[in-house]
């Protein structure tokens, strides 16, 4: 299943999508000692199908996300600064560096850990790790699939520069005629990382039948006549086929933002912590399976990650 399917996005006349909501992303505690700005998966925006959560995270070397389970969703982790180690009960392990991504399908069940890598050559590397983590719902028919990973390294990501003021990393989907690497996730998702210099503008096509949001990471932008500051998530209406963004001419620095779009799933979302199902009964079953080491969680019995043991107290 390709994340770059066009889905009939070409129309005779392009219509910009209007802003439905703009939500500031407020920092909060998460995991063990980590700080995140959560703009999906909170009281303001519980979900935005197929998206379940968006965290802009900052992890100090003494913090992290030790062993924890998932079921019924996919996660996309995008490392902006630093290095993140991951390890799970299937034996998979590795490290994501700056600009790398991991597409993880939890499916019927997985237990893993995500921890900042400490660089011994730099006296413990006290710099925090920064990145984005997006949770994406799985179609009901795929919730019982086997877990899998798809890593995407920074040097594998196509980059397009439509003009001298705009640079786009085409992580997943299509931008200005350039396609991403295929077969990264089961649920069709577009993810595009923009850097726009002062005076620059963007007209990004998005597929029909997809929900779309823009998360601003740095600088100041204008969207549909509204001035948007960093750490704001903009949710768009479904009508229209383009997102229009500009950066004021006289702002002191470039703007950086991601535009993310995902195919709308017409199904119930019942979420409790790391488990995402389509009914309350299935959520109860997920907790029972995890507690009893059954139906996908067999390998959790007696397993503990090595990286989770490095928590500093």
pLDDT, tens digit, 9 for 90 and up, residues 187-220: 999 999 999 999 999 999 999 999 999 999 999 9
Identify the structural domains of the chain with CATH numbers, from first to last.
Answer: 25-156+275-303 (2.60.120.10), 157-267 (2.60.120.10)
2 falls in which pLDDT band (50, 70, 90)? very low
pLDDT tens column, 213-271: 999 999 999 999 999 999 999 999 999 999 999 999 999 999 999 999 999 999 999 99
Among 222, 164, 170, 230, smallest CA distance to 197 is for 164
The answer to whether 70 is a known ligand-binding residue is yes
pTM for this prediction? 0.91
Give the C-alpha separation, 303 to 313, whole Å.
22
What is the rounded radius of gyration, in angstroms, for the C-alpha atoms of the chain?
A: 19
Q: What pLDDT was estimated at residue 101?
A: 96
The answer to whether 244 is a known ligand-binding residue is: no
66-100 residue pLDDT tens: 999 999 999 999 999 999 999 999 998 999 999 99
Residue 313 in this model has a pLDDT that exceeds 50: no
Other CB atoms within 10 A of residue 291 CB: 10
- What length is written for the chain? 313
Residue 87 pairs in a beta bridge with: 93, 113
Question: 272: annotated binding-site residue?
Answer: no
pLDDT digits (tens, 9 = 90+) for 98-122: 999 999 999 999 999 999 886 644 5
């Amino acid at each position: 299943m390709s994340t770059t399917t066009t889905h009939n996005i070409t129309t005779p006349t392009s219509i910009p999508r209007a802003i439905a909501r703009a939500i500031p992303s407020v920092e909060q505690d998460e995991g063990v000692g980590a700080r995140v700005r959560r703009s999906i998966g909170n009281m303001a925006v519980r979900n935005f199908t197929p998206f379940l959560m968006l965290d802009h995270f900052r992890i100090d070397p003494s913090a992290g996300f030790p062993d924890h389970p998932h079921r019924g969703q996919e996660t996309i982790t995008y490392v902006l600064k630093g290095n993140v180690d991951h390890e799970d009960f299937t034996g998979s392990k590795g490290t994501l560096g700056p600009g790398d991504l991991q597409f993880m399908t939890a499916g019927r069940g997985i237990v893993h850990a995500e921890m900042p890598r400490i660089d011994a050559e730099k006296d413990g590397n006290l710099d925090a790790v920064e990145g984005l983590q997006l949770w994406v719902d799985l179609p009901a028919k795929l919730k019982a699939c086997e877990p899998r990973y798809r890593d995407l390294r920074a040097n594998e990501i196509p980059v397009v520069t439509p003009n001298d003021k705009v640079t786009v990393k085409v992580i997943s989907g299509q931008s200005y005629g350039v396609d991403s690497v295929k077969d990264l996730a089961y649920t069709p998702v577009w993810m595009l990382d923009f850097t726009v210099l002062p005076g620059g503008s963007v007209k990004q096509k998005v597929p029909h039948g997809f929900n779309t949001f823009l998360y601003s990471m740095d600088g100041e932008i204008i969207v549909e006549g509204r001035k948007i500051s960093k750490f704001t998530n903009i949710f768009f209406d479904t009508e229209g086929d383009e997102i229009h963004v500009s950066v004021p001419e006289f702002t002191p620095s470039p703007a950086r933002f991601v535009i993310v779009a995902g195919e709308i799933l017409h199904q119930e979302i019942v979420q409790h912590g790391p488990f995402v199902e389509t009914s309350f009964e299935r959520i109860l079953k997920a907790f029972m399976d995890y507690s009893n080491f059954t139906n996908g969680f067999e390998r959790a019995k007696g397993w503990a990650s090595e990286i989770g043991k490095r928590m500093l107290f």
